[in-house]
Amino acid sequence: MAVASAAPGSIFRKQLLFCLLVLILSCDACRKISLQVPSHLQAETLVGKVNPKECFQSASLILSSDPDFRILEDGSIYTTHDLILSSARKSFYISLSDDQRQEQKEIEIVLDVRGKKVPKKRHTKDPVLKRSKRRWAPIPCSLMENSLGPFPQHVQQVQSDAAQNYTIFYSISGPGVDKEPFNLFYIDKDTGDIFCTRSIDREQYEQFPLYAYATTADGYAPEYPLPLLFKVEDDNDNAPYFENKVTIFSVPENCRTGTSVGQVTAIDHDEPDTLHTRLKYKILQQIPDHPKHFSIHPDTGVITTTTPLLDREKCDTYQLIMEVRDMGGQPFGLFNTGTITISLEDENDNSPYFTETSYFTEVEENRIDVEILRMAVHDQDLPNTPHSKAIYKILQGNENGNFKISTDPNTNEAVLCVVKPLNYEVHREVVLQIGVLNEAQFAKAANSKAPTMCTTTVTVKIKDSDEGPECQPPVKVLQSTDGLPVGKELQGYKALDPETRSSEGLRYKKIGDEDNWFEINEHTGDLRTIKVLDRESKFVKHDQYNVSVVAMDAAGRSCTGTLVVLLEDNNDHPPQIDKEVTICQHAKDYAVLEPVDADGPENGPPFEFFLDNSANKLWNLETKDGKTAILRQRQILDYNYYTVPIIIKDRHGLDAKHMLTVRVCDCTTPSDCKMNIKNVRDFKPSNVILGRWAILAMVLGSALLLCILFTCFCVTAKRTVKKCFPDVAQQNLIVSNTEGPGEEVMEANIRLPTQTSNICDTSMSGGTLGGQGVKTQQSFEMVKGGYTLDSSKGGGHQTLESVKGAGQDTGRYTYTDWHSFTQPRLGEESVRGHTLIKN
């Protein structure tokens, strides 16, 4: 297929497409359409196009039966992803639905892979049509923007080589045909002439890419789709305009010549890089117009200064009327104007100055924190900025620091105050010299001289007044020795009456004495100790103890002073160490001793360490650096507590003996030591302080014990009453479950009376002897810690007297006598008990 333009002598060229090749067959509606495509199709590639309106005027739904392809509303067929067609032929259907008519139709699409031969018999009578292998392409074609017609205006003509032998029908698609803007172009389907129907705005559409198609009457496409590009040539129909309607620049005053102020920019919608958009800038007018301070670069639009004489105090704002023109600034070019505002930034180029050359004021003596004068200044720089805010300084006359000057932030005035009392007796009048500067550093202008500080003088007259006592100096240092005893006097604080320059008539009172070391003499102010001075007291800081004193006159006016007692250290504290240390055998075989001396450094280390002779066998003591020592075992000791006597001396020989408890333990760290004490050598337990609950428990336990003892006494007293019981158990064995041992019978506790009485004929006591639990016919009676024994066996009354013999003391018997007397009878009773059981 060839393309012919409306101009005579046009050359037709052919071009093969490397992307999508589209064939449209539109002979019969809603019938099979064949499209030739390459074997490889990329995603979103246009395969071909059908005309849905030939089936339905308004198809409400268009669907593809093959998910590899999608159909647009205009009938364009696109691939959904990359495809490789392996078979020589592929077909699918396009389904069209019309909701109004309730009808549905299908169009069969057959894809012929490129390279396959066209069937020899498409029609029995027609020869086979083959594609031309010649390359062809359209010649460049352009349309003039804002063309005046007449319309329709001929643009180009396309022709196919196959038209020499067959009837070919032409069609086009793309923007301007079936896309926005619609119906701008159309083609004569028989001749291939393309026409434009109306004028075109290049700023809206710069070009139109179209596709031209050639098909036979039966729908076969002998040619590939032909791409056409219609470019719209620009017409200078848009005037340039400034990007911002209001543009404001700023530049410092007194700046140098050639300082850049800013750059203006304009916009032209015509075609870029053409004469239509080649812009030129110029300044039409400056307001105020004299003198000329600014210029502009005609091509870049950069505005610069032309003079260093910009002074904000004379004119702070300038306006420039600007023009921008296209066509390179030629008179026939289109143009526009705009206004540029340039503001001058303030610089500190004006020094402040006082409104008066001198000032006078007065103040009473001893007044403080009182305002005595305000002074105003004038500054031509911008108000309320660092360039105009004033800073005042007292240059002379304030050597004693009695005055302070500051700036009122609201009025910018100088405020002069008295901050330290003035003394009429010393100065009757004070003359101050005051200067003023700005907060910002002075910026020297090109046409100005170096700045000088503006100064003024202030005369301050001091008025006399009756004053109270003066405490000068406010702090007085008094030296004393450490350990000063009670009753010693020290010189106190002295205040003066400024009128008489003496301390007569003044009364002193102590208002600060933390540990109450002193008492003060009300008339002289001298101090007297009521406690021993101790430099190591917690109230002493850096060897100093402070006493605050107030001095008052007869009128009640007062002043306050501080007396600092500087204590000289006395060597009155020997070195001290911890009472107990731990040696962990798994970690180290020694302990580090670190003495502490409460005295000052001059009475402290280096220390000397000594072991008592009794400890030299087990321990060795090494001095390390004069401040510490190492206590080391001479041999491996058992895990136990040891008491080691150690003597420590300070540098002046003041010593103390310490009984150090050393715990040798099976541990790694002292906190892990949990030693079970078996053989404690020389270990003395620490004092135990009982709590209130422990004391209460002891009291209650004692009361309970007393109650038990009292009950036992009452029971014992009741049993001493003599009672006779019939021997009802003579022939019965009474079993007792008591198996505990009897009371131990000591020799000193056994005493038997010389005779017994009150024994009944059938006497039988319920006592048990030796814890045996066997009831016998013998009777025991407790008499003052001893026992009497009555026997009913036989006919006689046998006692210890008959056993022991008559020449001995019957009041005391040994344990051997008692034992030899009781054992045979106990055995006898035991045999009798067994006999009763057998019976």
Q: How high is the mean pLDDT in each 10-residue block of the chain (839 residues)?
A: 39 30 39 77 82 73 84 84 73 80 81 52 41 50 87 88 84 92 91 91 92 88 88 91 88 91 92 91 91 92 92 90 92 92 89 91 90 92 89 93 94 94 86 92 66 88 81 83 83 79 83 87 86 83 86 85 80 80 80 79 78 77 81 82 85 81 83 60 44 81 89 76 42 41 41 37 34 36 39 42 45 52 54 40
Same domain, 360 and 457: yes
Helix (H) or strand (E) holding 582: strand 580-584
Same domain, 339 and 358: no
Residues 6+ apart with CB under 8 A from 629: 592, 593, 595, 607, 609, 621, 622, 623
Same domain, 414 and 481: no
Q: Note whether residue 447 is domain-resident.
A: yes
Cα 515 to Cα 509: distance, rounded to the nearest angstrom:
16
CA angle 146, 149, 152 (to 5 degrees): 115
Q: Note whether residue 7 is domain-resident.
A: no
Q: Is 274 helix (H, G, I), strand (E, B) or coil?
A: coil
What does the pLDDT read at residue 761?
Answer: 36
User: How many other C-beta atoms can be found within 10 angstroms of the C-beta atom of residue 352?
Assistant: 22
Same domain, 330 and 365: no
Cα 51 to Cα 49: distance, rounded to the nearest angstrom:
7
Q: In what order do the strands lie in the sheet with 2-5?
A: 2-5, 153-159, 193-196, 185-187
What does the pLDDT read at residue 449?
Answer: 60
φ and ψ at residue 400, rounded to 5 degrees: -90, 0
Q: Of 317, 345, 373, which residue constitutes the final position of a domain?
A: 345
Where in 756-822 does DSSP place strands (E)?
A: 779-783, 786-790
In the chain, what are the helix, strand and coil shares in percent, each to the nearest 5? 10, 35, 55
Strands 358-364 and 454-463: parallel
Q: Whole-angstrom distance between the N-terminal and C-terminal Cα of the chain?
A: 155
Q: Note whether residue 704 is domain-resident.
A: no
Tokens of 152: 């329709």
- Bridge partners of 394? 434
Same domain, 425 and 443: yes
- HSE of 394, CA atoms in CB hemisphere, 13 A: 20
Q: Note whether residue 5 is domain-resident.
A: no
The CATH number covering residue 598 comes to: 2.60.40.60
Cα 132 to Cα 160: distance, rounded to the nearest angstrom:
10
Q: Note whether residue 546 is domain-resident.
A: yes
Same domain, 188 and 276: no
What does the pLDDT read at residue 209?
Answer: 93
Structural domain containing residue 537: 475-568
Q: Are 772 and 826 in contact (CB under 8 A)?
A: yes
Residue 540 to residues 509, 513, 576, Cα–Cα distance (Å): 21, 11, 20
Q: Note whether residue 145 is domain-resident.
A: yes
**Size (the chain), residues:** 839
Same domain, 325 and 376: no
Domain count across the chain: 6
Helix (H) or strand (E) holding 4: strand 2-5
